[in-house]
Structure formats: structure tokens, C-alpha cells
Amino acid sequence: MKFKSKEDLDAPIEKVFELLADFERHERSALRRGIEVSRVDSLKAPGVGARWDAQFRFRGKPRKAEIEVVKFEHPAEISVVAHMHGMDAQVEFLLVALSKTRTRLSVATTLTPQTLSARLLVQSFKLARGNITKRFDSRMASWARDIEARATKIA
């Protein structure tokens, strides 16, 4: 199952990429939302091979995920893969410079179930696709506005 969204930001591509690659900030954000995150690699700079272990609750059950950056092409793309019990997820962040001060951010998330229970979960997502897509687009729009605000502070 795949979810896609795109947003145009009033910020240069370099600034947007820099903010996307600020993994420490993403870790702090996850911690504030109750997700236990720990970095398990020894990389000094963001890039391919960055890895985390995460623990969170979803639908009332504790879940674990292993997350890894698998593609890191400055300033155009970051791909992350998450392996959870019974399901894999891939998230691709693509950046396109529309002008010197505008950037298009496209996010595509692909869920691949590996077990029967994960297939049932994905099937329930398909039934609620409209609501999930609206929430995904809304979250993306909010995130894009946050990136724009932070990019103007950096400039």
C-alpha cells in the first residue's frame, strides 16, 4: 500500500534538505510524542547507514522498529526503511528546486506486509484510505509549514 503527498515550500532546496537531514531534531520530536528512539550507528554526519531502534504503541500494543537510511543524495533525496514485526515500510523524501527560493517536497510511503496479521492491518488501512490520506496530507502540510518557518530562521 502506498501513500503519496507533495507540498511546495517557500524555501531554497539546500535549506529544506538540511532540515530534513537534521536527524537529531527528528529524534527529539519522536521522544516528545512518546516514541522511544535510540541511535545505533556511529556515524558522525547524516548519511546512508544511519540507524535507529524505536519502540512505540500502536493500536494498544507495544511495537518495535528498526529504521535505516538507505539513500542519501544531497540535495535531492533521502530514503528510509523501517522493519517492524510483520511489516516493512519505505519512506522516500524527494526534493525538486522550483526556483532559487521554492522547493517541492514529495513524500511517498510504501507499506509491505510480511505476515497474515500485517496483511489484515494493511487491508483495514485500505478500507479507511480516504481518511488516512486526508490525515497524511494534513500532517504533510503542517510539517511543510514548520520547515518553511525554520528555514527562514536559518537564513
Task: Report yes or no: 55 and 63 within 8 Å, Cβ to Cβ.
Answer: yes
Residue 89's pLDDT is what? Answer: 96
Provide the residue-wise pLDDT of the chain in tens; the chain has 155 residues: 999 999 999 999 999 999 999 999 999 989 998 899 999 988 888 899 999 999 998 878 899 999 999 999 999 999 999 999 899 999 999 999 999 999 999 999 999 999 998 899 899 888 999 999 999 999 999 988 999 998 887 65
* Selection from 10, 32, 48, 29 nearest residue 147 by Cα: 10
Task: Report yes or no: 79 and 69 within 8 Å, Cβ to Cβ.
Answer: yes
Top-level class of domain 2-154 = alpha beta
* Selection from 76, 64, 66, 65 nearest residue 21 by Cα: 76
Q: What is the pLDDT of residues 100-110, one digit of tens each?
A: 999 999 999 99
**Distance, CA of 119 to CA of 153 (rounded, Å):** 43
Query: Which DSSP letter does residue 111 get?
Result: E
Q: Please report, for the chain, the start and end positions of each structural domain, with discontinuous segments joined by +.
A: 2-154
**Distance, CA of 98 to CA of 92 (rounded, Å):** 19
Task: Report yes or no: 49 and 42 within 8 Å, Cβ to Cβ.
Answer: no
Residue 154's pLDDT is what? Answer: 67
Residue 155's pLDDT is what? Answer: 55
Task: Report yes or no: 52 and 39 within 8 Å, Cβ to Cβ.
Answer: yes
